[in-house]
Amino acid sequence: MQDAPPATPAKTTSGLAIASLVTGLTCVWPAAIICGHIALSKIKKSSGQIGGAGMAIAGLILGYLSLALIALWVITIVTVGAGAWKKGSERAQCIMNQQVISAQLEAYCLDKNLKPGDPLEADEALESGTNTSCPSGAQLVITPVVPEQGQPFVSCPFEDGSGHSHSLTTEYDFGDSSVDMPATEE
């Protein structure tokens, strides 16, 4: 009588491989990647007793794909945000430049007792080193004559394509010695 071959235990499927696949399908990438690597390591060490390598590999692929998509999304958001921040920052700087120029020109007009329609010598009126350009590259346009009340001394020809310009209107009253200049965007 011959001895029967030893019974081989039934092959089981790795729970970590299943977890890797499920978390990969649900885009829980850290769990998919960690479970997938641990499952493959245990499957390899089990000498064929544990199965599920295909599920572990699929979970790893889905986990790494999710990670790549999230990284791409973050890069896109940061890039778009940085561009919007730069545009807003340039616009704010341009408006601040216009406010400084308007204040200097208004003070000059009041000091020289100039009225609307009188010639305005901007080179003489502006302090040395006053920035007369827009950060977007446009040169600010200074009116050659004293403007009517509610009209700007200075404007920016820059148009950003969204309907917003960098120009502002400065309110002033030449009949009042106390100058009040609230700036409002157009």
Helix (H) or strand (E) holding 75: helix 53-111
Predicted confidence at residue 182, as pLDDT, reads 45
CB under 8 Å to 133, separation ≥6 — which residues? 97, 139, 140
pLDDT > 50? residue 175: yes
- The pLDDT score that the predictor gives to residue 132 is 86
pLDDT in tens, 102-111: 889 989 998 9
pTM: 0.56
Provide, rounded to the nearest whole percent, the portion of the chain with pLDDT above 90. Answer: 41
Q: Averaged over 27-52, what is the pLDDT?
A: 94
- Residue 89's closest CA among 182, 186, 167, 166? 166
At residue 182, what is the residue type? P
d(CA 134, CA 86): 13
Q: What is the pLDDT of residue 172?
A: 55
Q: Residue 168 class from Cβ within 10 Å (0-12 exposed, 13-18 middle, 19+ buried)?
A: buried
